[in-house]
Amino acid sequence: MIKVTLIGAGNVAQHLISTFLTATDIEIVQVYSRNPTTIIPEIDSKKIISNFSDLKEADVYIIAISDDAIASVSSQLPFENRLVVHTSGAAPLDSLNGKNRKGVFYPLQTFTKGKPVNFKVIPMCLETSIPEDYPILEKVATAISDNVHAINSHQRKALHVAAVFVNNFTNYLYQLGNEICIENHVPFDILKPLILETAEKLLTLSPKEAQTGPAKRNDVSTIEAHESFLSNENQSTIYKILTQSIQNHGKKL
Amino acid sequence: MIKVTLIGAGNVAQHLISTFLTATDIEIVQVYSRNPTTIIPEIDSKKIISNFSDLKEADVYIIAISDDAIASVSSQLPFENRLVVHTSGAAPLDSLNGKNRKGVFYPLQTFTKGKPVNFKVIPMCLETSIPEDYPILEKVATAISDNVHAINSHQRKALHVAAVFVNNFTNYLYQLGNEICIENHVPFDILKPLILETAEKLLTLSPKEAQTGPAKRNDVSTIEAHESFLSNENQSTIYKILTQSIQNHGKKL
Protein backbone atom coordinates (compact mmCIF):
# COMPACT_ATOMS: atom_id res chain seq x y z
CA MET A 1 0.00 0.00 0.00
CA ILE A 2 1.46 3.35 -1.03
CA LYS A 3 0.51 6.38 0.98
CA VAL A 4 -0.31 9.41 -1.11
CA THR A 5 -1.22 12.94 -0.11
CA LEU A 6 -2.77 15.34 -2.59
CA ILE A 7 -2.03 19.05 -2.40
CA GLY A 8 -4.60 20.99 -4.39
CA ALA A 9 -8.30 20.69 -5.13
CA GLY A 10 -8.61 21.75 -8.75
CA ASN A 11 -9.70 19.74 -11.75
CA VAL A 12 -6.64 17.46 -11.96
CA ALA A 13 -6.55 16.92 -8.19
CA GLN A 14 -10.24 15.98 -8.14
CA HIS A 15 -9.84 13.47 -10.96
CA LEU A 16 -6.78 11.96 -9.23
CA ILE A 17 -8.64 11.70 -5.93
CA SER A 18 -11.56 9.89 -7.60
CA THR A 19 -9.30 7.39 -9.30
CA PHE A 20 -7.02 6.83 -6.26
CA LEU A 21 -10.12 6.00 -4.23
CA THR A 22 -10.82 3.09 -6.60
CA ALA A 23 -7.19 1.84 -6.63
CA THR A 24 -6.56 -1.00 -4.19
CA ASP A 25 -2.83 -0.28 -3.81
CA ILE A 26 -3.20 3.39 -2.93
CA GLU A 27 -4.13 4.98 0.37
CA ILE A 28 -5.00 8.66 0.32
CA VAL A 29 -3.52 9.97 3.56
CA GLN A 30 -4.74 13.55 3.24
CA VAL A 31 -5.95 16.18 0.82
CA TYR A 32 -4.78 19.74 1.31
CA SER A 33 -6.99 22.53 0.07
CA ARG A 34 -6.98 26.23 0.87
CA ASN A 35 -10.74 26.07 0.55
CA PRO A 36 -11.84 22.64 1.84
CA THR A 37 -15.45 23.01 0.69
CA THR A 38 -14.38 22.41 -2.90
CA ILE A 39 -13.14 18.84 -2.21
CA ILE A 40 -15.14 16.06 -3.82
CA PRO A 41 -17.62 14.58 -1.35
CA GLU A 42 -16.36 10.96 -1.54
CA ILE A 43 -13.33 11.74 0.60
CA ASP A 44 -13.50 11.32 4.41
CA SER A 45 -13.77 14.90 5.72
CA LYS A 46 -11.21 14.20 8.48
CA LYS A 47 -8.58 13.75 5.80
CA ILE A 48 -9.15 17.21 4.39
CA ILE A 49 -6.76 19.81 5.78
CA SER A 50 -6.11 23.45 5.06
CA ASN A 51 -2.92 24.04 7.05
CA PHE A 52 0.42 22.72 5.89
CA SER A 53 1.34 22.13 9.53
CA ASP A 54 -1.31 19.37 9.67
CA LEU A 55 0.41 17.31 6.94
CA LYS A 56 1.22 13.76 8.03
CA GLU A 57 3.85 11.35 6.76
CA ALA A 58 3.19 9.97 3.24
CA ASP A 59 5.25 8.15 0.60
CA VAL A 60 4.44 10.72 -2.07
CA TYR A 61 3.04 14.24 -1.97
CA ILE A 62 1.35 15.16 -5.24
CA ILE A 63 1.09 18.90 -5.85
CA ALA A 64 -1.74 19.41 -8.36
CA ILE A 65 -2.06 23.18 -8.58
CA SER A 66 -1.44 25.91 -11.16
CA ASP A 67 2.12 26.07 -12.51
CA ASP A 68 2.74 29.52 -11.02
CA ALA A 69 2.05 28.32 -7.49
CA ILE A 70 4.28 25.21 -7.48
CA ALA A 71 7.45 26.98 -6.29
CA SER A 72 5.72 28.81 -3.48
CA VAL A 73 3.63 25.89 -2.21
CA SER A 74 6.54 23.41 -2.36
CA SER A 75 8.67 25.82 -0.32
CA GLN A 76 6.00 26.04 2.38
CA LEU A 77 5.93 22.31 3.10
CA PRO A 78 7.05 21.82 6.73
CA PHE A 79 9.34 18.81 6.08
CA GLU A 80 12.45 17.81 4.13
CA ASN A 81 13.80 14.96 2.06
CA ARG A 82 10.40 13.47 1.20
CA LEU A 83 9.18 12.71 -2.32
CA VAL A 84 7.23 15.72 -3.63
CA VAL A 85 5.99 15.74 -7.23
CA HIS A 86 4.00 18.07 -9.43
CA THR A 87 1.49 17.16 -12.16
CA SER A 88 2.34 19.80 -14.75
CA GLY A 89 3.35 19.24 -18.36
CA ALA A 90 4.92 22.67 -18.63
CA ALA A 91 6.60 23.35 -15.27
CA PRO A 92 10.23 22.23 -14.95
CA LEU A 93 11.22 19.67 -12.33
CA ASP A 94 13.18 22.43 -10.63
CA SER A 95 10.14 24.54 -10.00
CA LEU A 96 9.81 22.29 -6.94
CA ASN A 97 11.71 23.44 -3.85
CA GLY A 98 15.06 21.66 -3.38
CA LYS A 99 14.57 20.72 0.26
CA ASN A 100 12.55 17.66 -0.81
CA ARG A 101 13.18 14.90 -3.38
CA LYS A 102 11.60 16.01 -6.62
CA GLY A 103 9.49 14.32 -9.26
CA VAL A 104 6.86 14.79 -11.93
CA PHE A 105 3.61 12.85 -12.18
CA TYR A 106 2.03 14.22 -15.37
CA PRO A 107 -1.20 12.70 -16.67
CA LEU A 108 -1.28 13.68 -20.35
CA GLN A 109 -4.98 14.25 -20.78
CA THR A 110 -7.53 17.05 -20.89
CA PHE A 111 -9.77 16.95 -17.84
CA THR A 112 -13.29 18.30 -17.88
CA LYS A 113 -14.93 19.13 -14.58
CA GLY A 114 -17.59 16.55 -13.76
CA LYS A 115 -16.77 14.25 -16.70
CA PRO A 116 -15.22 10.97 -15.48
CA VAL A 117 -12.12 9.81 -17.34
CA ASN A 118 -10.77 6.29 -17.70
CA PHE A 119 -7.30 6.61 -16.13
CA LYS A 120 -6.34 3.10 -17.32
CA VAL A 121 -5.61 4.49 -20.80
CA ILE A 122 -4.20 7.87 -19.78
CA PRO A 123 -0.44 8.17 -20.40
CA MET A 124 1.29 8.87 -17.09
CA CYS A 125 4.59 10.67 -17.75
CA LEU A 126 6.98 10.22 -14.84
CA GLU A 127 10.30 11.76 -13.87
CA THR A 128 12.26 11.79 -10.61
CA SER A 129 15.37 13.75 -9.66
CA ILE A 130 16.98 10.62 -8.17
CA PRO A 131 16.63 7.16 -9.78
CA GLU A 132 15.75 5.47 -6.46
CA ASP A 133 12.46 7.35 -6.36
CA TYR A 134 11.32 6.20 -9.79
CA PRO A 135 9.94 2.81 -8.65
CA ILE A 136 7.80 4.50 -5.99
CA LEU A 137 6.25 6.89 -8.48
CA GLU A 138 5.86 4.05 -10.98
CA LYS A 139 3.87 2.04 -8.42
CA VAL A 140 1.49 4.94 -7.89
CA ALA A 141 1.08 5.38 -11.65
CA THR A 142 0.59 1.68 -12.47
CA ALA A 143 -2.03 1.46 -9.72
CA ILE A 144 -4.26 3.69 -11.83
CA SER A 145 -2.99 3.43 -15.44
CA ASP A 146 -1.75 0.78 -17.89
CA ASN A 147 0.06 3.47 -19.87
CA VAL A 148 3.11 4.58 -17.84
CA HIS A 149 6.20 6.24 -19.36
CA ALA A 150 9.55 7.53 -18.09
CA ILE A 151 9.71 10.99 -19.68
CA ASN A 152 12.54 13.41 -19.02
CA SER A 153 12.07 17.18 -18.79
CA HIS A 154 13.03 17.84 -22.41
CA GLN A 155 10.67 15.16 -23.69
CA ARG A 156 7.88 16.44 -21.46
CA LYS A 157 8.36 19.93 -22.89
CA ALA A 158 8.06 18.50 -26.41
CA LEU A 159 4.92 16.57 -25.45
CA HIS A 160 3.42 19.68 -23.92
CA VAL A 161 4.00 21.71 -27.09
CA ALA A 162 2.73 18.86 -29.28
CA ALA A 163 -0.34 18.61 -27.04
CA VAL A 164 -1.10 22.27 -27.74
CA PHE A 165 -1.20 21.42 -31.45
CA VAL A 166 -3.34 18.28 -31.19
CA ASN A 167 -5.62 19.47 -28.38
CA ASN A 168 -5.88 23.27 -28.03
CA PHE A 169 -5.34 24.16 -31.69
CA THR A 170 -7.48 21.26 -32.92
CA ASN A 171 -10.30 22.34 -30.64
CA TYR A 172 -9.95 25.85 -32.03
CA LEU A 173 -10.43 24.46 -35.55
CA TYR A 174 -13.59 22.78 -34.26
CA GLN A 175 -14.66 26.21 -33.02
CA LEU A 176 -14.09 27.78 -36.44
CA GLY A 177 -16.01 24.90 -38.05
CA ASN A 178 -18.85 25.52 -35.62
CA GLU A 179 -18.79 29.23 -36.45
CA ILE A 180 -19.03 28.51 -40.21
CA CYS A 181 -22.01 26.23 -39.51
CA ILE A 182 -23.79 28.86 -37.40
CA GLU A 183 -23.19 31.58 -40.02
CA ASN A 184 -24.67 29.35 -42.74
CA HIS A 185 -27.54 27.83 -40.79
CA VAL A 186 -26.43 24.21 -40.70
CA PRO A 187 -26.28 22.20 -37.48
CA PHE A 188 -22.70 21.62 -36.25
CA ASP A 189 -23.86 18.16 -35.13
CA ILE A 190 -23.59 17.07 -38.78
CA LEU A 191 -19.80 17.39 -38.49
CA LYS A 192 -19.40 15.38 -35.28
CA PRO A 193 -19.14 11.91 -36.84
CA LEU A 194 -16.43 13.27 -39.15
CA ILE A 195 -14.56 14.79 -36.20
CA LEU A 196 -14.63 11.48 -34.33
CA GLU A 197 -13.57 9.46 -37.38
CA THR A 198 -10.68 11.88 -38.05
CA ALA A 199 -9.36 11.21 -34.54
CA GLU A 200 -10.05 7.46 -34.61
CA LYS A 201 -8.30 7.06 -37.96
CA LEU A 202 -5.00 7.62 -36.14
CA LEU A 203 -5.42 4.26 -34.44
CA THR A 204 -4.78 2.58 -37.83
CA LEU A 205 -3.01 5.22 -39.99
CA SER A 206 -0.24 7.74 -39.36
CA PRO A 207 -1.40 11.37 -39.73
CA LYS A 208 0.72 11.63 -42.87
CA GLU A 209 -1.06 8.66 -44.44
CA ALA A 210 -4.45 9.97 -43.29
CA GLN A 211 -3.98 13.45 -44.80
CA THR A 212 -6.58 14.22 -47.48
CA GLY A 213 -8.34 17.31 -48.79
CA PRO A 214 -7.95 20.00 -51.43
CA ALA A 215 -4.60 21.30 -50.10
CA LYS A 216 -3.04 17.83 -50.10
CA ARG A 217 -4.36 17.09 -53.63
CA ASN A 218 -3.41 20.60 -54.75
CA ASP A 219 -7.00 21.01 -55.98
CA VAL A 220 -6.73 24.70 -56.87
CA SER A 221 -10.32 25.21 -58.01
CA THR A 222 -11.77 23.87 -54.72
CA ILE A 223 -9.28 25.94 -52.71
CA GLU A 224 -10.29 29.08 -54.63
CA ALA A 225 -13.98 28.29 -54.18
CA HIS A 226 -13.45 27.87 -50.42
CA GLU A 227 -11.44 31.09 -50.15
CA SER A 228 -14.12 33.08 -51.91
CA PHE A 229 -16.80 31.45 -49.75
CA LEU A 230 -15.13 32.56 -46.50
CA SER A 231 -16.01 36.20 -45.84
CA ASN A 232 -14.78 36.17 -42.23
CA GLU A 233 -11.21 37.48 -42.23
CA ASN A 234 -9.97 35.31 -39.38
CA GLN A 235 -11.36 32.10 -40.94
CA SER A 236 -9.94 33.10 -44.30
CA THR A 237 -6.45 33.79 -42.87
CA ILE A 238 -6.32 30.44 -41.05
CA TYR A 239 -7.60 28.67 -44.18
CA LYS A 240 -4.89 30.20 -46.37
CA ILE A 241 -2.01 29.62 -43.98
CA LEU A 242 -2.87 26.00 -43.21
CA THR A 243 -3.50 25.28 -46.90
CA GLN A 244 -0.12 26.74 -47.87
CA SER A 245 1.60 24.89 -45.06
CA ILE A 246 0.07 21.55 -46.16
CA GLN A 247 1.05 22.27 -49.78
CA ASN A 248 4.65 23.11 -48.84
CA HIS A 249 5.01 20.43 -46.18
CA GLY A 250 7.97 18.15 -46.71
CA LYS A 251 9.23 20.26 -49.62
CA LYS A 252 12.73 21.62 -49.36
CA LEU A 253 12.63 25.41 -49.38
CA MET B 1 -37.56 -2.02 -52.72
CA ILE B 2 -35.68 0.84 -54.36
CA LYS B 3 -33.51 0.07 -57.38
CA VAL B 4 -30.14 1.77 -57.27
CA THR B 5 -27.31 1.80 -59.81
CA LEU B 6 -23.83 2.95 -58.84
CA ILE B 7 -21.63 4.73 -61.36
CA GLY B 8 -18.02 4.67 -60.19
CA ALA B 9 -15.78 2.27 -58.31
CA GLY B 10 -13.65 4.50 -56.11
CA ASN B 11 -13.50 4.68 -52.35
CA VAL B 12 -16.96 6.22 -51.78
CA ALA B 13 -18.61 3.93 -54.36
CA GLN B 14 -17.08 0.85 -52.74
CA HIS B 15 -18.27 1.86 -49.27
CA LEU B 16 -21.76 2.58 -50.63
CA ILE B 17 -21.90 -0.78 -52.42
CA SER B 18 -20.91 -2.64 -49.23
CA THR B 19 -23.57 -0.90 -47.19
CA PHE B 20 -26.33 -1.16 -49.85
CA LEU B 21 -25.71 -4.92 -49.98
CA THR B 22 -26.65 -5.13 -46.29
CA ALA B 23 -29.75 -2.88 -46.64
CA THR B 24 -32.98 -4.83 -47.05
CA ASP B 25 -34.85 -2.03 -48.86
CA ILE B 26 -32.21 -1.49 -51.55
CA GLU B 27 -31.55 -3.49 -54.67
CA ILE B 28 -28.31 -2.78 -56.50
CA VAL B 29 -29.26 -3.07 -60.17
CA GLN B 30 -25.81 -2.49 -61.64
CA VAL B 31 -22.38 -1.05 -60.93
CA TYR B 32 -20.65 0.83 -63.73
CA SER B 33 -16.87 0.93 -63.72
CA ARG B 34 -14.44 1.81 -66.49
CA ASN B 35 -12.16 -0.81 -65.01
CA PRO B 36 -14.41 -3.61 -63.68
CA THR B 37 -11.59 -5.47 -61.90
CA THR B 38 -11.55 -2.83 -59.17
CA ILE B 39 -15.11 -3.62 -58.01
CA ILE B 40 -15.44 -5.17 -54.60
CA PRO B 41 -15.81 -8.96 -54.84
CA GLU B 42 -19.16 -9.24 -52.98
CA ILE B 43 -21.10 -7.95 -55.97
CA ASP B 44 -22.51 -10.39 -58.55
CA SER B 45 -20.17 -10.04 -61.54
CA LYS B 46 -23.09 -9.99 -64.01
CA LYS B 47 -24.16 -6.69 -62.49
CA ILE B 48 -20.83 -5.05 -63.26
CA ILE B 49 -20.81 -3.15 -66.54
CA SER B 50 -18.31 -0.94 -68.30
CA ASN B 51 -20.46 0.47 -71.13
CA PHE B 52 -23.07 3.14 -70.49
CA SER B 53 -25.21 1.49 -73.19
CA ASP B 54 -25.66 -1.53 -70.89
CA LEU B 55 -27.33 0.57 -68.17
CA LYS B 56 -30.79 -0.75 -67.19
CA GLU B 57 -33.72 1.05 -65.62
CA ALA B 58 -33.24 2.06 -61.97
CA ASP B 59 -34.97 4.43 -59.54
CA VAL B 60 -31.75 6.30 -58.74
CA TYR B 61 -28.35 6.48 -60.45
CA ILE B 62 -25.63 7.44 -57.97
CA ILE B 63 -22.53 8.95 -59.58
CA ALA B 64 -19.65 8.49 -57.12
CA ILE B 65 -16.63 9.74 -59.05
CA SER B 66 -14.19 12.64 -58.85
CA ASP B 67 -15.79 16.11 -59.01
CA ASP B 68 -14.12 16.97 -62.32
CA ALA B 69 -15.71 14.01 -64.10
CA ILE B 70 -19.32 14.51 -62.97
CA ALA B 71 -20.33 16.81 -65.88
CA SER B 72 -18.83 14.59 -68.53
CA VAL B 73 -20.11 11.27 -67.17
CA SER B 74 -23.63 12.59 -66.52
CA SER B 75 -23.79 13.88 -70.09
CA GLN B 76 -22.89 10.45 -71.46
CA LEU B 77 -25.80 8.64 -69.81
CA PRO B 78 -28.01 7.22 -72.62
CA PHE B 79 -31.36 8.18 -71.08
CA GLU B 80 -33.38 11.21 -69.99
CA ASN B 81 -35.62 12.36 -67.17
CA ARG B 82 -34.40 9.80 -64.64
CA LEU B 83 -33.08 10.65 -61.16
CA VAL B 84 -29.29 11.04 -61.31
CA VAL B 85 -27.38 12.20 -58.22
CA HIS B 86 -23.77 12.83 -57.30
CA THR B 87 -22.05 12.21 -53.93
CA SER B 88 -19.82 15.28 -53.74
CA GLY B 89 -19.69 17.87 -51.01
CA ALA B 90 -18.04 20.43 -53.26
CA ALA B 91 -19.63 20.00 -56.70
CA PRO B 92 -22.76 22.08 -57.40
CA LEU B 93 -26.04 20.39 -58.20
CA ASP B 94 -25.75 21.87 -61.69
CA SER B 95 -22.55 20.01 -62.47
CA LEU B 96 -24.99 17.21 -63.39
CA ASN B 97 -26.27 17.28 -66.96
CA GLY B 98 -29.74 18.81 -67.32
CA LYS B 99 -31.28 16.03 -69.38
CA ASN B 100 -31.98 14.06 -66.19
CA ARG B 101 -33.57 14.98 -62.85
CA LYS B 102 -30.77 16.07 -60.55
CA GLY B 103 -29.87 15.43 -56.94
CA VAL B 104 -27.09 15.19 -54.37
CA PHE B 105 -26.47 12.22 -52.07
CA TYR B 106 -23.51 13.38 -49.97
CA PRO B 107 -22.26 11.19 -47.13
CA LEU B 108 -20.34 13.59 -44.87
CA GLN B 109 -17.54 11.33 -43.74
CA THR B 110 -13.90 10.55 -44.48
CA PHE B 111 -13.59 7.11 -46.06
CA THR B 112 -10.46 5.02 -45.73
CA LYS B 113 -9.91 2.23 -48.21
CA GLY B 114 -10.45 -1.13 -46.54
CA LYS B 115 -11.70 0.33 -43.24
CA PRO B 116 -15.44 -0.42 -42.76
CA VAL B 117 -17.57 2.49 -41.61
CA ASN B 118 -20.84 2.44 -39.74
CA PHE B 119 -23.21 4.20 -42.15
CA LYS B 120 -25.97 4.32 -39.52
CA VAL B 121 -24.30 7.36 -37.91
CA ILE B 122 -23.00 9.03 -41.07
CA PRO B 123 -24.85 12.26 -41.93
CA MET B 124 -26.43 11.90 -45.37
CA CYS B 125 -26.91 15.35 -46.90
CA LEU B 126 -29.60 15.28 -49.57
CA GLU B 127 -30.77 17.73 -52.21
CA THR B 128 -32.98 17.33 -55.27
CA SER B 129 -33.74 19.78 -58.08
CA ILE B 130 -37.46 18.97 -57.89
CA PRO B 131 -39.28 18.41 -54.58
CA GLU B 132 -41.04 15.25 -55.86
CA ASP B 133 -37.69 13.45 -56.01
CA TYR B 134 -36.75 14.16 -52.41
CA PRO B 135 -38.78 11.26 -50.87
CA ILE B 136 -37.08 8.77 -53.22
CA LEU B 137 -33.60 9.90 -52.25
CA GLU B 138 -34.67 10.04 -48.60
CA LYS B 139 -35.75 6.39 -48.78
CA VAL B 140 -32.35 5.35 -50.12
CA ALA B 141 -30.60 7.36 -47.40
CA THR B 142 -32.74 6.14 -44.50
CA ALA B 143 -32.18 2.56 -45.66
CA ILE B 144 -28.53 2.93 -44.65
CA SER B 145 -28.36 5.84 -42.17
CA ASP B 146 -30.26 7.20 -39.17
CA ASN B 147 -28.77 10.63 -39.77
CA VAL B 148 -30.44 12.11 -42.87
CA HIS B 149 -30.64 15.86 -43.62
CA ALA B 150 -32.08 18.08 -46.35
CA ILE B 151 -29.15 20.34 -47.20
CA ASN B 152 -29.29 22.93 -49.96
CA SER B 153 -26.31 23.79 -52.17
CA HIS B 154 -25.26 26.81 -50.13
CA GLN B 155 -25.40 24.85 -46.87
CA ARG B 156 -23.47 21.99 -48.44
CA LYS B 157 -20.75 24.40 -49.50
CA ALA B 158 -20.52 25.69 -45.93
CA LEU B 159 -20.34 22.13 -44.58
CA HIS B 160 -17.62 21.27 -47.05
CA VAL B 161 -15.50 24.25 -46.01
CA ALA B 162 -16.13 23.54 -42.32
CA ALA B 163 -15.16 19.90 -42.93
CA VAL B 164 -11.79 21.06 -44.26
CA PHE B 165 -11.21 22.82 -40.93
CA VAL B 166 -12.31 19.97 -38.66
CA ASN B 167 -10.92 17.11 -40.78
CA ASN B 168 -8.07 18.09 -43.15
CA PHE B 169 -6.62 20.90 -41.03
CA THR B 170 -7.08 18.99 -37.79
CA ASN B 171 -5.29 15.99 -39.26
CA TYR B 172 -2.49 18.31 -40.32
CA LEU B 173 -2.12 19.49 -36.71
CA TYR B 174 -1.87 15.82 -35.73
CA GLN B 175 0.92 15.55 -38.30
CA LEU B 176 2.79 18.50 -36.79
CA GLY B 177 2.33 16.98 -33.33
CA ASN B 178 3.75 13.71 -34.64
CA GLU B 179 6.70 15.58 -36.15
CA ILE B 180 7.47 17.30 -32.83
CA CYS B 181 7.39 13.90 -31.12
CA ILE B 182 9.74 12.33 -33.67
CA GLU B 183 12.18 15.25 -33.43
CA ASN B 184 12.27 14.92 -29.64
CA HIS B 185 12.27 11.14 -29.34
CA VAL B 186 8.91 10.62 -27.69
CA PRO B 187 6.36 8.14 -29.03
CA PHE B 188 3.40 9.85 -30.73
CA ASP B 189 1.20 7.11 -29.22
CA ILE B 190 1.36 9.01 -25.93
CA LEU B 191 -0.77 11.74 -27.53
CA LYS B 192 -3.48 9.49 -28.93
CA PRO B 193 -5.71 9.30 -25.83
CA LEU B 194 -5.62 13.12 -25.71
CA ILE B 195 -6.55 13.35 -29.39
CA LEU B 196 -9.52 11.03 -28.89
CA GLU B 197 -10.69 12.83 -25.76
CA THR B 198 -10.45 16.21 -27.53
CA ALA B 199 -12.84 14.93 -30.21
CA GLU B 200 -15.15 13.10 -27.78
CA LYS B 201 -15.45 16.17 -25.56
CA LEU B 202 -17.61 17.75 -28.28
CA LEU B 203 -20.35 15.26 -27.50
CA THR B 204 -20.91 17.08 -24.19
CA LEU B 205 -19.38 20.56 -24.61
CA SER B 206 -19.38 23.14 -27.40
CA PRO B 207 -15.90 23.81 -28.84
CA LYS B 208 -16.01 27.26 -27.27
CA GLU B 209 -16.65 25.78 -23.81
CA ALA B 210 -14.00 23.11 -24.38
CA GLN B 211 -11.25 25.57 -25.38
CA THR B 212 -8.30 25.48 -22.97
CA GLY B 213 -4.55 26.06 -23.22
CA PRO B 214 -1.98 28.84 -22.88
CA ALA B 215 -3.46 30.99 -25.69
CA LYS B 216 -6.95 30.89 -24.19
CA ARG B 217 -5.62 31.69 -20.68
CA ASN B 218 -3.26 34.29 -22.14
CA ASP B 219 -0.42 32.52 -20.31
CA VAL B 220 2.40 34.55 -21.84
CA SER B 221 5.29 32.75 -20.15
CA THR B 222 4.17 29.32 -21.43
CA ILE B 223 3.58 30.73 -24.93
CA GLU B 224 7.08 32.23 -24.94
CA ALA B 225 8.58 28.96 -23.68
CA HIS B 226 6.81 27.05 -26.47
CA GLU B 227 7.87 29.53 -29.14
CA SER B 228 11.49 29.30 -28.11
CA PHE B 229 11.25 25.49 -27.98
CA LEU B 230 10.06 25.25 -31.61
CA SER B 231 13.05 25.54 -33.92
CA ASN B 232 11.17 24.36 -37.02
CA GLU B 233 9.98 27.46 -38.87
CA ASN B 234 6.75 25.94 -40.18
CA GLN B 235 5.73 24.66 -36.72
CA SER B 236 6.64 27.99 -35.20
CA THR B 237 4.61 29.99 -37.75
CA ILE B 238 1.52 27.84 -37.25
CA TYR B 239 1.94 28.04 -33.47
CA LYS B 240 2.11 31.85 -33.53
CA ILE B 241 -0.79 32.37 -35.90
CA LEU B 242 -3.18 30.01 -34.14
CA THR B 243 -2.17 31.40 -30.73
CA GLN B 244 -2.84 34.97 -31.88
CA SER B 245 -6.10 33.94 -33.49
CA ILE B 246 -7.30 32.26 -30.26
CA GLN B 247 -6.25 35.33 -28.24
CA ASN B 248 -8.08 37.73 -30.55
CA HIS B 249 -11.11 35.51 -31.14
CA GLY B 250 -14.40 37.18 -30.36
CA LYS B 251 -12.72 40.54 -29.73
CA LYS B 252 -13.92 43.49 -31.74
CA LEU B 253 -11.08 44.86 -33.86
ipTM, two decimals? 0.93
Helix (H, G, I), strand (E, B) or coil at A249: coil
Give a yes or no: residue A83 inside a domain: yes
Chain centroid to Cα B29, Å, comes to 25
User: What's the pLDDT at B113?
Assistant: 78
Give a yes or no: residue B55 inside a domain: yes
Is B63 in contact with B70 (CB distance < 8 Å)?
yes
Of A110, A131, A151, which residue constitutes the final position of a domain?
Answer: A151
- Asked if the model's pLDDT at residue A151 lies above 90, the reply is yes
Of A151, A186, A213, which residue constitutes the final position of a domain?
Answer: A151
User: What's the pLDDT at A114?
Assistant: 75
- Asked if the model's pLDDT at residue B244 lies above 90, the reply is yes
User: What's the pLDDT at B174?
Assistant: 98
User: What's the pLDDT at A24?
Assistant: 92
User: What's the pLDDT at B36?
Assistant: 75
B181 and B81: one domain?
no
User: What's the pLDDT at A111?
Assistant: 85
Q: What is the mean pLDDT of residues A156-173?
A: 97
B121 and B205: one domain?
no
Q: Least CB-CB distance to B242: which of A123, A169, A210?
A: A169
Burial class (CB in 10 A: 0-12, 13-18, 19+), B228: exposed
A97 and A163: one domain?
no
- Asked if the model's pLDDT at residue B79 lies above 80, the reply is yes
Over chain B, what is the mean pLDDT?
A: 94
Q: Residue A194 is part of a domain; what is its CATH number? A: 1.10.1040.20
Is A40 in contact with A19 (CB distance < 8 Å)?
no
Q: What is the mean pLDDT of residues B24-30?
A: 96
B114 and B204: one domain?
no
Per-residue pLDDT band at A39 (split at 50, 70, 90) = low
Give a yes or no: residue B243 inside a domain: yes
Count interface pairs A-B at CB distance under 8 A. 305
B21 and B109: one domain?
yes
Give the number of domains in chain B.
2
Give a yes or no: residue B70 inside a domain: yes
Q: Least CB-CB distance to B186: which of A158, A184, A222?
A: A158
Per the structure, the complete domain to which residue A178 belongs is given by 156-248
Q: What is the mean pLDDT of residues B57-71?
A: 96
Of B125, B151, B177, which residue constitutes the final position of a domain?
Answer: B151
Q: Does A176 touch chain B (CB under 8 A)?
A: yes
Select from B170, B193, B171, B114 the least CA-distant residue to A206.
B171
Q: Does A11 touch chain B (CB under 8 A)?
A: no
Helices (H), A40-150: 70-76, 134-144
% of chain B residues with pLDDT over 70 = 98
Give a yes or no: residue B82 inside a domain: yes
A187 and A137: one domain?
no
B14 and B102: one domain?
yes
- Asked if the model's pLDDT at residue B81 lies above 70, the reply is yes
Q: Does A150 touch chain B (CB under 8 A)?
A: no
DSSP string across B177-190: HHHHHHHTT--GGG
E-strand stretches of chain A: 2-7, 26-32, 48-49, 60-63, 83-86, 101-107, 124-128, 148-150
% of chain A residues with pLDDT over 70 = 98
Q: What is the mean pLDDT of residues B128-156?
A: 97
CA A128 – CA A106 distance, rounded (Å): 12
CA B66 – CA A38 distance, rounded (Å): 57
% of chain B residues with pLDDT over 90 = 89
% of chain A residues with pLDDT over 90 = 89
Residue of B nearest to A244 (CA): B234
Over chain A, what is the mean pLDDT?
A: 94
- Asked if the model's pLDDT at residue A42 lies above 90, the reply is no
Give a yes or no: residue A253 inside a domain: no
Give a yes or no: residue B253 inside a domain: no
Give a yes or no: residue A54 inside a domain: yes
Q: What is the mean pLDDT of residues B186-199?
A: 97
More confident residue, A41 or B1: B1
User: What's the pLDDT at B252?
Assistant: 53
How close does chain B come to A246, measured CA to CA in Å? 7
B216 and B91: one domain?
no
User: What's the pLDDT at A28?
Assistant: 97
Q: What is the mean pLDDT of residues B50-55?
A: 96
B204 and B140: one domain?
no
A81 and A163: one domain?
no
- Asked if the model's pLDDT at residue B40 lies above 80, the reply is no
- Asked if the model's pLDDT at residue A253 lies above 60, the reply is no
Q: How far apart are the first and last CA of chain A?
A: 57
Window from A10-24, B7-21, B31-45, B181-195 with minimum mean pLDDT: B31-45
- Asked if the model's pLDDT at residue B225 lies above 80, the reply is yes
Chain centroid to Cα A169, Å, comes to 14
A69 and A141: one domain?
yes
Nearest 10 degrees: Cα torsion A13, A19, A24, A27:
10
- Asked if the model's pLDDT at residue B39 lies above 70, the reply is no
- Asked if the model's pLDDT at residue A237 lies above 70, the reply is yes
How close does chain A come to B51, measured CA to CA in Å? 29
Q: Residue A26 is part of a domain; what is its CATH number? A: 3.40.50.720
How close does chain B come to A204, measured CA to CA in Å? 9
B185 and B116: one domain?
no
A125, A127, A194, best to mutate vs chain B, most B CBs in 10 Å: A194
DSSP percent split of chain B into helix, strand, coil, nearest 5:
50, 15, 35
